[in-house]
Amino acid sequence: RSVLRELSLKKYNNIHSINKKDFKENAEYYKVEIENLEWYKSHNLPVENDYLVVGDIHECLDEFKELLIKNKFKLEDNKIVGHEYGLNKKVVLVGDYVDKGHNTKETIEFMYENKEWIYFVLGNHEDYVYKVLNGEIEEDKITKKKLYYFPSILEFRADEDLKNKFFELVKLARAFYIYKGDKNSSFYVTHVPCNKKYIGKVDSNSLKKQTNIPIDYDLDGQEGFGKSLENQLKYLTNET
């Protein structure tokens, strides 16, 4: 009973309780079916590939292309056409490829053209912008300061085709990826650091913890945003 009480506080999507204790005698009557197994398995990075893991590029597309070339990717015009050491080299983008760089259209076009080469981790910027565009956030909560930090919202609202491409990229993204190495070390990739109890889990609370840093961008206050930001990030001491 104490275990069940503790589980109820964990915010799992579902908790299934079986009262009977005849598993051994009647095992054939019990069946475990994982409804989202294939979706969960889609978080696995294929072990036959090597990966270039790249952090928040924030629309710095030229620098990103330079990084690809430096790591032996071959580019022609706006497309990745191969790698010097073969086709088993892929890119993992650790989220936040939009905003800040004032280069939204070119960035989205490049990501869309090369999506077969890239594994997208969902960043808090993509997550927030998608929710705004999809009507999941009320208009009165989209303040001027939010539009300052997420300027791609206005770009997408002005370009329906670009917005649709962005939506496709978001649907390809995952809150985390896991690489289960046999010869190499295993690792997880998430957008933000979080407590290990959330990593690699797909309940709604864990997905949020792996994607979003709990920052209030409207909290300027009398301290100034830099100081308030420092205070808000103190959670990292406990989370990591």
Eight-state DSSP code of residue 174: B
DSSP lists the bridge partners of residue 174 as 121
195 neighbors 239 (Cβ within 8 angstroms): yes
Mean pLDDT by 10 residues, the chain (240 residues): 67 70 73 83 94 96 96 94 89 96 97 97 96 95 92 97 98 96 89 87 90 70 58 70
Per residue in 16-40, pLDDT tens?
777 777 767 777 777 778 788 898 9
β strands within the chain, DSSP E = 50-54, 73-76, 79-83, 89-93, 118-120, 176-179, 187-190
pLDDT in tens, 75-89: 998 999 999 988 789
Structure tokens at 215: 């920052």
